[in-house]
Structure 1
Amino acid sequence: RRQKINSKVKKSAPDRQKEKDDYDGTDDTLRTDSVTANTPQEVKESSVKERDLSNRPEGYKTMGVTGESIEHPSDLTKVPGRIIERKMVRVFSFRTFLREECFEMVHYAEPGQKPKWGYFPSAGHPEVITKFEGTKATPEFLQAIAYEVYVKNVTFGLLHQWLSDMGMTISKNTLRNWLKKGKKYLDELVCVLKSIALEKDSIVNCDETWCKVRKYDHYKKCYIWVLVNKARKTAIFFYENGSRGRDVLTDFLGDAELKSIMSDGYNAYVFIGDELKSARFKDTVHQVCMSHAKNKFVKASNQGGEPVAERFSDILKEFFMKERKCDDAGFTSAERLQERQSLETKELLIELRSLLDSELSKDSEFRSPYYTEALNYLNRFWKEIFAYLDDGELPIDNNLAERTIRKLTTQRNNSLHYGSDAGVEMAATYHSVIGTVRLHGSSIWNFIGTFFKNIFNGCRDYVNMVPDKITLATSQC
């Protein structure tokens, strides 16, 4: 039988990456479908199904680990009042193997006071219940699952299966909730890192990537941003409920008095626009990544078959080679500025400008669309691309932000989608800390473990728990 074909054609979702690739700096090629088409779909009341309570299970599984648990009984001689009740509290720890510990809680009442619970350690047993606040896991166990999910990119399903194979009975939602408890304290640390990244006269790089988020009964394409401060070795990921409006980046920057901000041309035009010319950003230098301009000419040469496009890419490559020589020689910002202002650099700049004006003056009818896009892009963002030549501290490209956000892109390919906005916000918090630790060249495993142990021990000095000062906070606690 011939199948019926639905006459209603489903409109494909706008693709931000294609919009960025096709944009050449002119209004004709500017597409903002992925930015403006962000009104959330309303959930119809008729589509909401009532909960079916007729299939409730007779019993529920309780958390536990296969094998005998280690028990820590209370020393009843230390109880200061009359004992009312006793119970065991489960705590899961993960060191070289998975094990379960039980701490005996005593319900007692002192004369003239209300009854309360307490743990009174016996000789040879832990002095306190070693569980992270709000969970049944030790700081080491929380460290292990955070490292698996956000560093090794293990999905919650695989993590749950791994723990199940080791004999532990636990749900995936419980693992998520435990990581949320750790996020509450990491959020305080991220606030400190944000203030460091947006210090006065800072030079920052920014970029964004898409992610798929579940919204009620459908999935929506949303975006996560990253801001990197190379000098202070700080990376901040932020997500504003999936919003794709142009105020996301400028609202995040707030009243920061930055020296410069680097982005690609599409983000510069669509999300920043004239904001950097306003009163609060009037002293901020806006840069556009040179790598994007170079890649467009490489594409015009390879796919468009334009012979002159290869000359453009060769000249732009010379600017990168000069920067690499400065890096290898270990130049200071003053020495780098002197090199950028050299006669050889100015000759390259003059040749490139002359070649660009010559090509733009020719008839565009016989030009490939790739070549037209590359020429317009370089002409539109000429000032922003070569703004780095006036200061020895400014970067030449946006590769730092793109490398930082690549880890999250890898996780996106593994997990396919996030279950909610809260899941994306939790990923942004953990990746902010992980990205910052990676920029410092420190061990992510050691930092997460030390941070959770400090929180368990009552330390709340977040200023001294940043990656380069956490040893100081450890000694003070």
Structure 2
Amino acid sequence: MSGGLGRQRTLEGLLGRAGDTDGYAVYAAVAKQRAGRLHVAHCWAHVRRKFLECGGPEADVAVRLIGERYQVEREYQTGPHDVGRLHALRQEKSRPVVSRLHAWALAVRALPESALGKALGYLGSLWPGLTRFLDDAHVPLDNNATEKALRGPVVGRKNHYGSRSRRGTEVAAILYNLLESAKRCGVEPKAYLRAAVLAALHGEPPLLPHLHAAT
């Protein structure tokens, strides 16, 4: 959008500011309490959605650049799974794309309350967490897999009313966490539950899913 239309928002004025848009502030608060031990990584899928909702040629630039980043991840999926290879690929191909997006966002002008202004605000307020994937290859571009894993409990929410007590709800929450963690670790859920129950019957502490997967 052209300048000279009153107050304008740019990414430059938003970098390092938290809570400016609808990023869940609790995550930043927890990370602050655990300074140095916990770092927040933010989701590129949510950022892409903000720009898709804007429409228009300027927002399309951001969508295209974010898409290039996902193309790099797809390229990684075609070869052997190796964290070192992914890190090198991100340095070679993703980092330049991130720099281009950063430069574009600094140059764009938009009214603060416009759709594009809000999308830029969202991008800027979460920038440190959005770029964390460049330095840590274990960090995915988005949290789509986590959200997908949560759909089961959400769809079955009415069934959980049968817990009838706080203790019942806590047990259900523990089981959901263990089962979904087992899936994420590549462990068959029924096999994991069977191993955990047998360990408990023998007076042994059950292994958590990621430890069970390593055995």
Check whether the contact 2:199–2:205 (CA below 8 A) recurs between aligned residues.
Answer: no
1:380 paired to 2:125 = yes
- Cα deviation for residue 277 of structure 1 reads 3.9
Residue 74 of structure 2 corresponds to which residue in structure 1? 324
Q: In structure 1, give the amino acid aligned to 2:174.
A: T
Q: How far 1:363 moved relative to its partner?
A: 4.7
Structure 1: state its 5+ residue gaps: 1-24, 31-264, 473-477
Distance 1:339 1:364 in 2: 36
Cα displacement string for residues 198-242 of structure 1 (whole angstroms, at most 9, x for unaligned residues): xxxxxxxxxxxxxxxxxxxxxxxxxxxxxxxxxxxxxxxxxxxxx
Q: Which has the higher strand share?
A: 1
SS in 1 for 2:40: strand
1:434–1:444 Cα contact (<8 Å) kept: yes
| SS at structure 2 position matched to 1:287 | coil
> Which of 394, 398, 415 is matched with 2:159 structurally?
415
1:459 maps to which of 183, 188, 202: 202
1:292 alignment partner AA? H
- Deviations 1:73-97, CA, capped at 9 Å, x for gaps: xxxxxxxxxxxxxxxxxxxxxxxxx
1:433 and 1:339 map into 2 onto residues whose CA distance is 33
Change (3 A) 1:435 1:374: same
Task: Give the structure 1 partner of residue 38 of structure 2.
Answer: 284
Q: Extract unaligned runs of 5+ from structure 2.
A: 1-16
**Cα distance in 1, alignment partners of residues 51 and 68 from structure 2:** 14
Rg (Cα) greater in structure: 1
Q: Provide the identity percentage.
A: 20
After superposition, where does 1:176-255 map in structure 2 within 5 Å?
none
**Higher relative contact order (CA closer than 8 Å, sequence separation 6+):** 2
**Whose helix proportion is higher, 1 or 2?**
2
Q: Does 1:356 align with 2:105?
A: yes
Contact 1:300 1:309 in 2 (8 A): yes
The one-letter amino acid paired with 1:307 is P
2:184 paired with 1:439: yes
Q: C-alpha deviations, 1:377-433, integer Å up to 9, x for none? A: 101111210111123333222223222222211211x52746443332121121122
Please give the TM-score of this superposition, normalised by the length of structure 1.
Answer: 0.37
Q: 1:297 to 1:420 in 2, by over 3 A?
A: farther
In structure 2, the residue corresponding to 1:285 is in which secondary structure? coil
TM-score w.r.t. length of structure 2: 0.75
Can you list the C-alpha shifts for 1:59-86, whole angstroms capped at 9, x where unaligned? xxxxxxxxxxxxxxxxxxxxxxxxxxxx
Distance 1:287 1:465 in 2: 24
* RMSD (CA atoms): 3.1
**Count of residue correspondences:** 197
Distance 2:138 2:199 in 1: 36
Deviations, residues 312-355 of structure 1 (Å, cap 9, x unaligned): 1111111111012112212522222222111x434322321122
Residues 26 and 376 of structure 1 are in contact (CA less than 8 Å); yes or no, is this contact kept in structure 2? Answer: no
